[in-house]
Amino acid sequence: MPDLEFKDMQGFIARGYGSLPAAAYLVLTVDEGSEARAWLKGLIPSVTPADLRPETQALHVAFTSHGLRALGLDETSLRSFSREFWEGMADDHRARHVLGDRGASAPGRWRWGGDTHTHALLLLFARDDDELGAFVNEVRAAYGGVRELAWLDTFAFDSPLEHFGFNDGIAQPFMEGLRRTGPPANTVAAGEFVLGYPNEYGRRPLTPLVESDLDPAGVLPSRVRADGSEPKRDGPSFHDLGKNGTYLVFRELSQDVPAFWRFVDEASRLDDGSSNPEERLRLAAKMVGRWPSGAPLTLCPDQDDPDQGSRDDFGYREHDRTGDRCPLGAHIRRTNPRDALEGSPEDALKVANRHRLLRRGRPYGAPISRTMDIEEILRHTGEHEEVGLHFISLGTDIARQFEFVQHTWINNAKFDGLYTDADPLMGHTGDRQGTFTLQGAPVRTRVTGMERFVETRGGGYFFLPGVRALRYLASLPAPPTGPSS
Amino acid sequence: MSKAPFQDGMTIVTRVIPGREASLLELLHGIGNDVEGSRLVPFPELTTLHFGRWVFFEADVDALGAPTPPTLILSTNFDAPRKDHIAELYDRAREGIDRIYEHCEGYPRPEGRTPARVRAWLEQHDAGYNTLYVGTRGRTVDRIRREARLREAIQGFLDEACRRPGFQELGPAAIRGEIQAFVQGDPDLAWAAEAPPRWRSRWPTRRDLPLALAATALVFVPLAGALLRGWRVGAVLLGGIIGILLLAVGLWALVLRRRERTDPEDPPTNDFDHVRSLVHNEDRFVQNQMSAVNRVKPGWLRLATLRVVLAAIDVLGRWVHTHGSLGSIPSIHFARWVIIDEGRRVVFFSNFDGSWENYLGDFIDKAAVGLTGVWSNTAGFPRSRWLVFDGATDEQRFKAYARRSQVVTPVWYSAYKWLSVQNVNNNSAIRAGLFGEQTPDETAAWLRRL
């Protein structure tokens, strides 16, 4: 395992900044290429590299393929990125058939990201809202050639909650080569999350390249062939635009919290038609696969146990093969099946680890109930500020990681031998035809008429470049026939 | 108890008349764009058809650069016998068949075109297959659909029953009894009381003949020698045969290994526009398909190796992997390899559940050895070692190779597109365990299938 070049890597790959609870994301469009390149050049010293552990604030920058084109990157280089990135998240076929962004979630109805004008994403982190506000103003004051399309706020819960009321962000793979290490079963090769290093197949992931003629100053590292492997003596000459960068998937996911709890409340009523709070919580936990504290149902089948709240060191085969504890189709069992799927537990785990995501998202919007009091949520009527999750994941292969999880695991009604059970929180289409099966003895129970509680409001596929790649992008010559300069 | 049917594969390979390609493609896309509503080929009326496709291959070249003609392939997975399938096909889809094959060389001219002549012409062009894998052994289209309806009815009944206070406390046997009573009370489900036909392998089939002959030679020649001339002669014969075999395999391996070191491999990148044309038709519902063609590497050694590997997988598919999963891949309905163009190219047709990315991932994670054994004999495949190693494990290069090999499938039909292989097989298990004696453990396990 080669040493990671932390200096050249944006720090967001190495850490999620738990100590910087205030965060905002700014979506930008490039109006004028040469001014935007000058702006980017000025921004680079503020971008936080991975060899620093920032105490007060952090800044990161990422671009869509449209954004790279607007900065002046040539089409041949653009096509050396992955097809998924080149096409973008809002591509019609992808949205409809891979990601399930249909109906209210269709890109045509997004707040941002559904068109070709979404070019760049700035991610800002600070210690509190005041410092964040000042930081945002400082960054805005420096804009040149770019214009802000959206300002995406976040909400910091006191503990790592998401808006349905469950502890979130527990299952996170450890990346090889970082100081923080974890159990081998949950440790994933660096090449899964950062370009330029061996991945879980022992190969370097495909990396975007520019012909060496287009980098005469040698800003980018060379020494790779077109296919990303080590060069032969007479191989073609390319410079590596991807090294120490990665792909960043951003999705603005709104959560209909009252609808979720009302649905669960209805589905868990007593025979006399009255609410059954205990059963209601149990059903919600069954859908998630964890109790509100985060305790996994596979370890705590009967009731919540806050002491087990951050347990991530468990599998499904040994105690829960049949799904009697954590249903086969529960959210956490499909977003990370651990050892549950085909083959031996070891093989299943190995395969599952080829579809892991580094999750870096944060919730947004103030909750209806600060204490996550379900009765209060159910009593709430009328309008309320939109709440949800700014989902962010990092990975070197969008198709094999993010899209695979979304399509093959979350949206797939046939997951693990099921029939009509998509993800109970976010996998259904809204036609109320779907089911949620709670395996059990002597026979299963089943919730019918499943709804969709999460809608996509915006998003994009971004490239989070290494520091040298940022310098290269800032120094691109104006395209000969372009409208700029 | 009736004998269960045998699902077979038909691969009708025909040459397209030069100049008629565009017209043919337009016709095929017209059928494929509304595959369930096509008047020309009314697929839903075909009772013998599980999956079917028409694929068109443009004029191309083989691995040595020699031309391969424009080719149309009709590939079907059907309930045997073949003659009934072909008869039904031409009976129901006469207009479509005529219009399609009028684009092909040698199709009976209108004046002398009788159903008998057309059927004979189609049979004559059936290239069969080198390997056929079936994930849902021994079940007709009709049975697969009926068993799916049976399960849905039982699930509906259970949804209601579970709302009854105390239902879960009845215990497994009583719950099964209630389900039985429900099924018996519905005349539409009465058929389920009959035990399903059991699928029994026929040994040896004609396809196993080469294997059977080889085994016979290996066992009976020494045995006969021993019986007729004494055990020493038998031992010498056995040793001789094994020695010759080992020598041959050793020589083969050495030559193969030398070639492997220098065979060129294609890059791990793809033309986006080509991939987009394929992706456009994918993930429309739970099942997907792949049609691919590859050039066999030059020389008899590669072709012979390919034939042996394909025959071996065919045998394994029929005798070992008969319960719905190939190794630990549980998502393949039907797949086949067929060598065409006198051994110069090999096509692969597959019907599977889930995404292409998942399918290829399964290939790499769970079946790399077998797939490398096959496709390393074709040009451009990622570098292999000793025929079956490396190759497909070069993930990105293998995925790029697979995409490059793929062609758009203008017409593709599935008779039960809402069912996964796991669904089909579970439905059959539900039906099989519905009636009859069971131990308490068996009943508990059976209820888990619901």
User: What DSSP string describes A410-423?
Assistant: IS-TTGGG-SS---
Query: Which residues on chain A are in Cβ contact (under 8 Å) with B448?
Result: 322, 439, 441, 444
Diameter of chain A measured on Cα atoms:
80
CB contact (8 A) between residue B158 and residue A347: no
Query: Which residues on chain B are in Cβ contact (under 8 Å) with A417?
Result: 330, 420, 422-423, 426
> b/e for A39-49, b at 16 or more Cβ within 10 A?
bbeebeebbbb
Weakest mean pLDDT among A219-233, A346-360, B193-207, B277-291: A219-233
The whole-number average pLDDT for the span A206-210 is: 95
Q: Where are the alpha helices (DSSP H) in A88-238?
A: 92-93, 129-141
Q: What is the DSSP letter of A274?
A: -
Weakest mean pLDDT among A219-233, B153-167, B198-212, B243-257: A219-233
Supply A127's token pair.
């210690």
Please answer whether residues B370 and B313 qualify as being in contact, where contact means their C-beta atoms are separated by less than 8 angstroms.
yes
Cα–Cα dist A454/A102, whole Å:
12
- Give A8-57 pLDDT, tens digit per residue: 999 999 999 999 999 999 999 999 999 999 999 999 999 999 999 999 99
CB contact (8 A) between residue B393 and residue A201: yes
Does residue B208 surpass a pLDDT of 90?
Answer: no
ipTM over 0.85: yes
| Partner residue opposite A227 with nearest CB, options B168, B170, B267 | B267
Ramachandran bin of A469, using left for φ above 0, alpha for ψ from -120 to 50, beta for the remaining angles: alpha
The whole-number average pLDDT for the span A284-303 is: 96
Interface test with A, best of B269, B423, B427 (most A CBs within 10 A): B269
Give pLDDT, residue A237: 84
Give pLDDT, residue B390: 95
Give pLDDT, residue A484: 45
The whole-number average pLDDT for the span B202-227 is: 81
Give the confidence band of A234 by pLDDT, cuts at 50, 70, 90: low
pLDDT-above-90 percentage for chain A: 86
Give the confidence band of A227 by pLDDT, cuts at 50, 70, 90: low
Please answer whether residues A15 and A53 qualify as being in contact, where contact means their C-beta atoms are separated by less than 8 angstroms.
yes
Q: Is B282 on the interface with A (CB under 8 A)?
A: yes
Range 81-140 of B in CB contact (< 8 A) with A: none
Nearest Cα residue in chain B from A401: B357
Please answer whether residues A152 and A25 qualify as being in contact, where contact means their C-beta atoms are separated by less than 8 angstroms.
yes
| Partner residue opposite A419 with nearest CB, options B280, B366, B423 | B423
Phi, psi torsion values for B357, nearest 5 degrees = -60, -40
Interface test with A, best of B358, B401, B414, B442 (most A CBs within 10 A): B358
Q: At what angle do helices B172-184 and B141-163 cross, to 10 degrees?
A: 120
Nearest Cα residue in chain A from B169: A442
Supply A341's token pair.
């799927």
- Give A51-75 pLDDT, tens digit per residue: 999 999 999 999 999 999 999 999 9
The whole-number average pLDDT for the span A291-314 is: 94
Supply A49's token pair.
């590299």
- Give A141-182 pLDDT, tens digit per residue: 999 999 999 999 999 998 889 999 999 888 889 999 998 888
Q: List the one residue out of A94, A152, A141 whose CA is nearest residue A118.
A: A152
Q: Which residue has the tokens 């719950």?
A: B175
Supply A381's token pair.
């009527």
Q: Which class for B162: exposed (0-12), middle (13-18), buried (19 or more C-beta within 10 A)?
A: middle
Query: Which residues on chain A are in Cβ contact (under 8 Å) with B279?
Result: 93
CB contact (8 A) between residue A205 and residue B422: no
The whole-number average pLDDT for the span A358-378 is: 94
Give the confidence band of B219 by pLDDT, cuts at 50, 70, 90: confident
Does residue A304 surpass a pLDDT of 90?
Answer: yes
**H or E segment and range at residue A62:** strand A57-63
pTM of structure: 0.95
CA B77 to chain CA centroid, nearest Å: 7
The whole-number average pLDDT for the span A299-310 is: 94
Cα–Cα dist B430/A387, whole Å:
44
CA B115 to chain CA centroid, nearest Å: 28
Q: Is B323 on the interface with A (CB under 8 A)?
A: no
CB contact (8 A) between residue B159 and residue A448: yes
User: Taking the domains of chain A in order of start, what are their residue ranges?
Assistant: 6-249+460-474
Residue type, B192: A
Give pLDDT, residue B1: 36
Cα–Cα dist A33/A214, whole Å:
17
Give pLDDT, residue A478: 78
